Every structure is written in structure tokens, then in C-alpha cells.
Amino acid sequence: MPHAPTLQSFIAGRWIGQHGAQVLRSALDGHELARTHEERPDFAEAVEHGRRAGNAALMALDFQQRAQRLKALALYLSERKEQLYALSHHSGATRADSWIDIEGGNSTLFTYASLGARELPSGNIVHEGPALQLSKLGSFAGTHILVPRGGLAVHINAFNFPIWGMLEKFAPCFLAGMPCIVKPASATSYLTEAVVRLMDESGLLPSGSLQLVIGSTGDLLDRLEGQDVVTFTGSADTAAKLRVNPNLIRHSVPFNAEADSLNCAILAPDVTPDDEEFELFIKEVAREMTTKAGQKCTAIRRAIVPAKHIDAVASRLRESLAKVVVGDPSVEGVRMGALASHDQQRDVAERVASLLHSSDLLFGARDGFEPRGENVSQGAFFAPTLLLARDPHAAGAHDIEAFGPVSTLMAYDDLDEALALAARGKGSLVGSLVTRDPQIAAKAIPVAAAWHGRLLVLDRECAGESTGHGSPLPQLKHGGPGRAGGGEELGGLRAVKHYLQRAAVQGSPSMLAAVTGEYVRGAKVIETEVHPFRRFFQDLQIGESLLTHRRTVTEADLVNFGCLSGDHFYMHFDEIAAKESQFGKRIAHGYFVLSAAAGLFVSPAPGPVLANYGLDTLRFINPVGIGDTIQARLTCKRKIDQGKLSPQGIPQGVVAWDVEVTNQLGELVASYDILTLVVKREG
């Protein structure tokens, strides 16, 4: 009988591995599914290829272009997702479980593609301003920039989400312009290999931007240097071992860990069994126990409940768990599949046995556990298991994690005790508070936040749209303190910045403008006879500027603007009250100043500027009174080429303009950026 296929590593642009080694079995019936390869990758070649070819290819693109590649890659994978679902089935995952892994991973690609297009510049420098004046006359200033590190990232991933776990690290890393080497957990590496093959076949990956290691990392970590980065997802014990690698310490290599943690859900003391929130708590705990067969780093391991309701909670959870049908996900009616491997099955059984030294079994295999499907006796199935801590303050559930469909109930007497129990987890990725009372949330969340990376406050108001306790979102931070690893992933641009190097830069405003690619206040401006709004996107220069004519503000301006806007605030119309204010006089509406400035700098005839679609950093610095004369300076601050077309198919880019409005004394009265869509010149 022929062996199962041998998985291959993707190193230096080629697939290697011909001879089978470790057998990987289906979690459903134990048949041989694939094998890792016997050949040892040349990690020196892998590192060299990433640093040289990978960095060169990624730097040939800018942030905007890499964002476009991510979007195209997400579309490519979306069109081929069914083959991934078919393979994911063997990991014991239901269709809903696989959805989290496959669609969740793809959604992360889409999210970072959109984030990059909206938030990052053209080019490969992020100006993390604003620039700061460091001298009296303003000729010496400082700011911060973020640039690609020039090294490579090693991503070591867990077995539970072989697709999402890889893509949620790859997306911000790729966007940041950093090549990566991915090392999935062997048990489900057949899924990661399948996705990397698709990504390679897409032709969208620049050479060296992504490499894959099947099997051991060998001496890979020993070859890293200070410009490199390591990210890890897995057990806290493994994270602790990798973190102290002598070479990583010697070269101060950043190490980001996201480790399994003893996450909790707290049922607040205000909730009774008759409340809708009580049922929300039951559903959340049961769902976190059974989704992905409890194999989630964010799963609820400790359910902390008022002592007066512990019996009611236990009864409702037993009822809910008794309805869960376990077995082969292809069998109709099955809601929970197998653990990812037989090794995992043995590990969970051992840890449940340890937990039973300090807990009582409320629900488990004795309660009618009978997986459905053919040959399931050879599968890695495990019964949903609910425990009750005999002493909620004792060790046990606060120290031992069974990484499967296992959760422990704990009773508390008051909210302070509940929060103390939550903190006994020594640092968690996520915690949930189910309450009806905003005052309880206001008291509990700041205390719990010291021990948690993310917190969900669940009530009937948000329940209909809540993504739930266990769902990390790319827009929000994923990670936690202490046992949870002390790292951060996702969180929007925060994840991209993890792969960039921050540097402070000092010099004249003109030099800072040259370095950052953005106009910096105080830098030399470019003034020509052509109004900047008459320039096409390609022709417009950073620093191109217009100093407008002047306008004197009259009482009629205030009256007319008040009638038009409906804003009759006393500072604009009550002479006596205005004199008694800190300004000592009537002042113009701030938004009148904004509107009047636009009237000063706008070029009214049709031209390349299509629309103003935003305004940032608005500040009203000094008041404008009746009789004051204002003037505006409009300067091209930043250009972003998103590669987009208007609805009419016209190529266009985004231009940010710096606006300074001053009075007759030269004092700044208003400051802001406006964002416009500007047509590209043909040809």
C-alpha cells in the first residue's frame, strides 16, 4: 500500500522534501494522511534568501503596492477555498470551525489590504509625526519615522489554526515589507502547506517574501540577527524555552509570544437566572467549550459564577452540553469534531485527570458520549467536560490548562473575589464580563484590564452583533500579559509597526521634509504662478504652496453665518456675556474661520481636484474677533497613490494639504489638514 504524500518545505523559491518521515494521521479515523519530509532544509540558504532576495523584492514595492498584492492574494484564495475546506475536515474541524480558520485568515488579508490603502503612504517610510520644534526660532526640529527593518521574520505557529494562524502574522509582516519564514506545528502542517502552495501558484508573492518549513526549525533561530523578528504562538512552556535562546538574547532579537492562557468569563452578581444575560453566559461558555473542540487559545477555561447561582449555571450547562452531537463533521447533525491529533487527545486526558484532583466532574464521557461516524473509534475525539472547583482559590484550574473542550466552574461571593479569581490566571488573552449594570462594568473592567489583553462586556444590547468571547479581530490587539506571553499581535496598524524600526530624526524642517517625504511646518515652500489646485497628481510637488489674499471679518459675517448654520452661541452674539468671558469680546464661529479660509484658497473652476473628502487634526488656536484680518497658507503635505479609479474610470490619487490660517499679527488661529482626490494626468 503506497505511503501518504510527503509534505514539502518551500525554501529559496523551490519545494524540497521527497522522503517521508513523521506520519500525520486524520483526526477522524486515524488513517495516514501525510508525512513530514526527512530532508533537513538548509537554513543558512533560507536566511540568506530572505534577507537578500526577499528584502530586495519587497522594497521594490511600496506600502500601497503591497496592500494591493494582499487584496489580490485574498481574492485568489477565496476562489479556491473549497479545497481547503475538504482538507481541513481531516483536522477534526466542523465546517463552522474551518470557517474561522479559512475565512478568518482570508478576512485578515482583506483587512490589512484595506488598512494599508487607507492609512499608509506611498513609499516605504511612515512619518510618525507631528514634527516638534526644538529651538526658539524653529530652525531645529525633530520627529519620528518608521522604516522596514531589513531583516526577516520567523513565525512559529500553533496546530489549532494552521491557516488563520499563519495569515494573521503574514499579512502585517508583508505589508511592512519584511520577508518571513513560516514554521507551522507538524500535526496540521498539511493545511499550511496547501495554503502556501496556492500563494506560490498565484504569482503574487515577490521572490523570497515567504518561505515554509515543514518539521523542525533546526538551527534557524541560531542564525538570526538584530534586524530580525521572531513571533510565536503556542504553549506558555514552549514560549519560555524559545525566548531564552542564547542567540536571540545575544542579538536582542524581538520575540513576540502569544501563548495559551486560562481565560475566564465572569457572570456578574447583578444577573439572575431569569435575565437574558444569564442565557448569554451559558451560550458563551458552551460555545467556547465546543467550537474547534475547545482548541482555541482564547477559549473559556474558567467560568466564574456567583455562589448563589452555581447550581443553576451547572444545571443549564449540563443541559446545553448534553445536546452537543460529537463525531465526524460530515455526518448530519454533528456539531463538534475531534481534537487535532491523537497526541493532543492523550494530553487533554492527562490534564483532565490532574484537574480532577481539585475538582468534581459535572459532565463528561460518562454522560452518553458516543461519537458518530465510521471508524470514529480510531479518531481523536474527546467528550465535552465540565468541572467544578471544590475550592475556587486553590491551585488546579488556575494553573493547569486542558487544551480541549474542558472548562471549570468556580463560585464567588462578591465582585472583588471574582476579580481576584480572574487574576489567578496570571495573565490571559481574553476575559468576558456578562452584566446588565454599567456601573459594575465601570468598576470591574479597569481592574481586570491589568491581567487581560482583551475584554468583552456582554449584555443583551450588543449580543446580536457581538463576535463573541473567543474571536480575535484584526482591528483589535490580540495578546496578553504574563502567562499569555506578554506580546501583541493584530490591532490594526500596531501589528504593522511591530515589523518596522522606529527612529527619531532631528534637523531643519526642510531636511525633515526631505527625509519623511512630507511637508513639515517651517520647511521651505515652493511658490509658483500656478495655483496648486490646478496641478495634476503627478505634477504636484511636496511643499508646493499658496499664500492667499486677506479677508477682514465683519459683524455681518457673524450674523450671516449664525443665521445660515443655526449656531447662535452667546460668544458670537451676546456683547455683554462675551466681554465677561476669557476672550473679552465677541468672536467668530470656528467653522466660519474654516469656511472663510476655504473661500480664500479654493480655485473655483473645474480642474484636477475632484473632491474634498476629509479633514484631520483641526485645532482652533487663537480667537478671531470682529475687525481681525485672516490669511491662509495652503501647502501640499503628502501624496498617496492608491492605484484607484473614480467611478468614471479616471485614475486618481489622494493629496493631503497642510492649512495654516493666521491673523493680522501673524498669529496662528486655525490649523488642519484637508484630504482631496486629485486626477492623474493622462500618459
HSE at residue 127, side-chain half, CA atoms within 13 A, is: 23
Instruction: State the catalytic residue, choosing from 180, 264, 297, 636.
Output: 297
| Distance of alpha carbon 174 from alpha carbon 66, whole angstroms | 7
Helix (H, G, I), strand (E, B) or coil at 516: helix
C-alpha 407/C-alpha 359 separation (Å) is 11
- DSSP per position, 429-464: EEEEEE-S-HHHHHHHHHHHHTTEEEEEEE-HHHHT
From CA 179, how far away is CA 61, in angstroms rounded?
Answer: 13
Closest of 308, 307, 304 to residue 418, by C-alpha: 304
Asked if 382 and 340 count as a contact pair (C-beta separation under 8 A), the reply is no
Tell which residue, 637, 634, 636, 603, has the closest CA to residue 534: 603
Euclidean distance between CA atoms 85 and 681, whole angstroms? 46
What nine digits make up the cell of 627? 475687525
DSSP letter assigned to residue 188: G
The number of C-alpha atoms within 13 Å of 562 and in the hemisphere containing its C-beta is: 17
| Residues 643, 539 contacting (CB under 8 angstroms) | no
Q: What's the burial of 472, exposed, middle or buried (CB within 10 Å: 0-12/13-18/19+)?
A: buried
Q: Annotated catalytic residue: which of 258, 277, 417, 660? A: 258
| 484 contact partners, CB below 8 Å, separation of at least 6 | 236, 258, 259, 261, 427, 428, 429, 453
583 vs 319, 461, 556, 624, CA distance in Å? Answer: 68, 44, 20, 10
Please, what's the largest Cα pairwise distance for the chain? Answer: 98
**Span between the terminal Cα atoms of the chain, in Å:** 63
Beta bridge partners of 670: 620, 661
Bridge partners for 385 per DSSP:
406
Q: Specify whether 636 is catalytic.
A: no
Cα 600–chain centre separation = 42
CA separation, residue 254 to residues 133, 210, 236, 546 (Å) = 32, 19, 17, 45
Burial class (CB in 10 A: 0-12, 13-18, 19+), 627: exposed
Look-up: residue for cell 494521521? 25
Q: Establish whether 258 is a catalytic residue.
A: yes
Query: How many residues are there in the chain?
Result: 683
Q: Which residue has the cell 479654493?
A: 602
Tell me the catalytic residues.
Answer: 258, 297
